[in-house]
Amino acid sequence: MKTLLTTLLSFIVLSASATVYNSDGTVQNIQAIHNNQAVDGDTIMVPAGTFSWTARLIITKGITIQGATTISGPASNPTINDGTIIQDNTPRSGTIGILLAQIPPGKSFRLTGMTFRRGATTSSSTWALTFSSTGSSPNRSMRMDHCHLDRLSTGKLFVTSGWIYGAIDHNVFDCSSGISITIGHNGYGGNLASDPYGNHAWADYSQYGTGDFFFIEDNTVRNVSGTDNILIGGTDTIYGGKDVFRHNYFFNCVIGDHGTEGQAARSHRCREVYNNTFEFNVANSPNGQRSGSSLYHDNTWIGVRQDGNRVATLNSFRSNSSRSNSIWGPADGTSPWDLNDDGTGNPAPPGSVGHTFLSGTATGGSVSGGSGTMIDSTKNWTPNQWVGYSVKNKNPQADGYNLGSHITSNTATSLTYSYYEGTDTAHHLRFSSGDRYEIHRCIKSLDQAGTGKGDLINSPNDIPINTVTGTACWPHAVVELCFSWDNRHLPDNVVYGFGTGIPFIVAGRDYFNLGNGFPSNTTPPAVSAALSPAINGTQYSGPFTYPHPLVSGVPPTPTPSPTATPTATPSATPTATPSPVVTTNPATNIASFAAALNGSVNPRGSTTTVYFQWGTTTSYGHTTSTQTQTGNTSRPITANISGLSASHLYHFRIVATNGGGTSFGSDRTFTTLSATGPPVVTTNPATNVTISSARLNGSLDPHGSTTTVYFQWGTTTSYGHTTPMQTQTGNTYRNITANISGLSASHLYHFRIVATNSAGTRMGSDRTFNTP
């Protein structure tokens, strides 16, 4: 075996002027690159063979390092020819392991055709390969492709740092430990020295649909540890990172990120995930997202179904004090960095502590697994009245002092809350007899899923301050939604969507599961409307060019550099056209296989399209026909749906779009009737009333059996008269009418509908009318 650092056989360096280094055949060493002997534009040809790497390589020139490893075929089953193999025998000190490419803006760097394999070094304390850039503009030309990272013993295999928009493609990450890919933008806006935490990315637009992201495309990422730990080989995003995962194959590992949760570091900013395949053969949890916005679409899952049928679980580590020493405080309704309930269900002024709904003294408590219990035997609460609120320990002598967590259920005398049992935090929220407690409520937390651009936060001495208010204060972040559409588990065609267990991450406000049924790789109008220039910085109409220009060889077109410092008022400028106002109303005419969906819409002066989404989950998956409305008043909207299953729970909501955006009604549910059963009847108002006659009206669902139906009528609720019987069959609602005569003028009459089948008799409610 050759030692790459000292005797790299046949190692050739070609400059742009065709100068050949080490041309005598003895080849000195690769340290020439480290010593800046290479020239911008050089291509370093590393021959086939197996070499030992005993020192980290630091590269500052715009060069290409090209080995003989090849990777071909689909990402789900790549063919790997490990031509150039670098054994990792580098020392473990600091964070940089095998290679650091620290390339200034305007220069290009490419690492291609290399295999990096575990050597004698087994410590996992460093990063293997790091791409970094500093400067007043982003570096858009850094690429790693056709490389095989083979079971390296490092904590992170590939890392970005600084203001860098590049791509890694057609690589294979075989992970026996650690994280595969970590994306950070801690130098965003050219502010690495003053802002190592990614704050400037959170003070700027997302720019979805542009090249202002780091792209991970056409890669194979595999957990080859032989364990069920799906975090091995998983990904991470930190420091305001912006990433796009597309056309990749993931095996037994997940896409994840960090939130704004512990110390001053900010979290994942925004992400697109599309056209990927995820395969699992172990019981697993879904992808994770602790902050920011995301677009998940056109992804497929195979193998074992993911828990909860989720594309990602939207989480918040501050909601249950799993980061007990967080400088942001717990997200329990008391941190100035969050929006807190003022006692009326509305946000208290930004930067203020929320309303204390209740305080008291615990008479006991316990923890078990992921749940904790606080007991106050002096109370007589309504069951579950505190669900979605948070309980906080106020005993200065308690280990969990000033920690809070969201309440998941309550009885008359006890509260159950989310308990973090991990050992990676210093303190845990428990209650003992005599501990004082308070109940508050968080409405929205800092940087949570569904938030975007806000005030610039700085962290001098690692203590964050809102630069607009000069205090610890909610940064007035705009709503920047998470969307999921056309994601499914292929083996059983189950629709996937977002899910959460955090009470202040709200479906229909922070995230939307649009379901399936959209044309492949298209953008729903709701997504384009939500990502307007006022929110996104540019109008989003679809994903950025694929393949990435670094892959295709087409030079990228830079988008305008972001403004690092926001205006004093970062809230989005309202559009001239207001979005429609919608309300989802209860379903009616609920039968065994059909129902009528109801809602209302106010177009607010613009031509508005409106429809309903419906399905067996909040991912919906079905839509009704689009209706068009105009005007400035609220009007009812109804749509009939059929082809349902008997005795099933269904979800639905109303959706409306105009030039001002898209509005979603709240989710409602209904349960279809059994296939057969007693008739279902409703007495409707009488019509055609004269001094001596009237028409009686009602509706009937025979409920799957032959049914006789008629009306009872008279001057009292004893009725005394009946109309002729009618016979009906089927499982749908139909109108029933009967004319009566021989009435007296100026009299009050009562009536009701009555129906009988083999399962029983049902009577409608009593109605009245007056003859003239």
Q: What is the pLDDT of residues 643-654, one digit of tens each?
A: 999 999 999 999
The 8-class DSSP code of residue 441 comes to: -
Q: What is the pLDDT of residue 167?
A: 98
Given a contact cutoff of 8 angstroms between Cβ atoms, the answer to whether 630 and 662 are in contact is no
**Taking the alpha carbons of 762, 765, 766, 771 in that order, is the dihedral positive or negative?**
negative
Task: Annotate 197-237 with DSSP letters as a single string.
Answer: T-HHHHTS---TTSS-SEEEES-EEEE-SSSS-TTTT-EEE
Residue 740 has pLDDT above 90, yes or no: yes
Q: What is the pLDDT of residues 429-467, one digit of tens each?
A: 999 999 999 999 999 999 999 999 999 999 988 899 999
Identity of residue 672: T
DSSP helix/strand/coil, 343: coil
Given a contact cutoff of 8 angstroms between Cβ atoms, the answer to whether 611 and 624 are in contact is yes
Q: What is the pLDDT of residues 472-500, one digit of tens each?
A: 999 999 999 999 999 999 999 999 999 99
Nearest CA among 35, 43, 45 for reference residue 62: 43
Query: Half-sphere exposure of 385 toward its Cβ, with a 13 Å CA cutoff?
Result: 12
Q: What is the pLDDT of residue 175?
A: 95
Q: What is the pLDDT of residue 561?
A: 37
Residue 726 has pLDDT above 90, yes or no: yes
Q: What is the pLDDT of residues 335-379, one digit of tens each?
A: 999 999 999 999 999 999 999 999 999 999 999 999 999 999 999
Q: What is the pLDDT of residues 299-309, one digit of tens each?
A: 999 999 888 89
Nearest CA among 80, 39, 82, 89 for reference residue 60: 39
Which tokens hold the place of 10?
């046949």
Q: What is the pLDDT of residue 23?
A: 29
Query: For the chain, what percent of residues have pLDDT higher than 70?
Result: 92
Number of H helices, E strands in the chain: 6, 65
Q: What is the pLDDT of residue 560?
A: 41
Residue 164 has pLDDT above 80, yes or no: yes
Q: What is the pLDDT of residue 129?
A: 95
pLDDT band at 578 (very low <50, low <70, confident <90, very high): confident
Residue 7 has pLDDT above 70, yes or no: no
DSSP helix/strand/coil, 88: strand
pLDDT band at 37 (very low <50, low <70, confident <90, very high): low
Q: Which residues pair with 110 in a beta bridge?
A: 64, 143
Q: Average pLDDT of the chain?
A: 89
746 burial via Cβ count (<10 Å: 0-12, 13-18, 19+) = exposed
pLDDT band at 424 (very low <50, low <70, confident <90, very high): confident
- E strand or H helix at 760: strand 760-763
Q: What is the pLDDT of residue 452?
A: 96
